[in-house]
Amino acid sequence: MANQRRCAMGESIANPKAMKASQVLGRFSECYRRLEEAGLTFTDLQYPIDDPEFRDRLVEFWKNRGELTLPKPASNWQEQDGVIYFSVTSDGTTGLQWIKRLEGNGFHLGNYAKKVLRSSDFKPTNGMTTEVVVLKGMLFEDNDRITKKIRAEADKRKLSKPNAELACLIQRVQRQAWRQVGS
């Protein structure tokens, strides 16, 4: 039983005595309708089924009621007063190479992200080190945790707007941090 894994389904759904099949199907139908309204496709919904690592992160997200829990920062990360600091160095990876690399690591890229990475505007750099500053959600009230207000705070701190290459580099560092937590 040590290798047995608990199902992510709540007992009220998993226990047929607690809910009727029609209630389970009704809840699923409502959930699916809302996900479709949000623009998700069958392919998007299949992704957590096919990728156990993504599924685990999604279940963790649900269990925490939408609060993202980041792994303990890697040793080269520093945190102070709700701000995380670390650096990344570019390696000349092109947009098409990023698509292949990220998808090869099980990261789901939407059509818009792929369009940005394929764009002639995507200009990879090589050997450029960028000091990254992450403003944690705790710095903002729930209603203020929107892009416009986060950008305003970043502007006050004289932080530049990150580009697509930096987003890819940050994702790579974050993935490495998740691996460290798992080991």
- Please write the tens of the pLDDT for every residue from 86-131: 888 888 999 999 999 888 878 888 999 999 999 999 999 988 999 9
Question: Is the separation of the CB atoms in 128 and 91 below 8 Å?
Answer: no
Rounded average pLDDT over 148-166: 92
Structural domain boundaries in the chain: 11-63, 78-182
Query: How much is the pLDDT for 33?
Result: 82
79-94 per-position pLDDT tens digit: 888 898 888 888 899 9
Give the separation between CA 56 and CA 77, rounded to whole angstroms.
24
Q: Which residue has the tokens 């570019």?
A: 90
Rounded average pLDDT over 20-49: 78
Pairing of strands 78-80, 126-135: unpaired
pLDDT class for 76, splitting at 50, 70, 90?
A: confident
Average pLDDT, the chain: 78
pLDDT class for 177, splitting at 50, 70, 90?
A: low
Tell me the β-bridge partners of 86.
Answer: 132
Which of 153, 169, 115, 159 is CA-nearest to residue 133? 159
Give the separation between CA 32 and CA 38, rounded to whole angstroms.
10
Give the separation between CA 74 and CA 78, rounded to whole angstroms.
9
- For a pLDDT cut of 70, what percent of the chain falls above it? 78
Helices (H), the chain: 11-14, 21-37, 42-50, 52-63, 95-104, 111-118, 147-156, 164-182
pLDDT class for 10, splitting at 50, 70, 90?
A: very low
Query: How much is the pLDDT for 68?
Result: 58
State the angle between helix axes of 95-104 and 164-182 in degrees (0 to 180), rounded to the nearest 10: 20
Question: Is the separation of the CB atoms in 83 and 136 below 8 Å?
Answer: yes
Structure tokens at 124: 């990879």
For residue 153, is pLDDT > 80?
A: yes
Q: What angle do CA 149, 173, 81 make, to 5 degrees?
A: 45
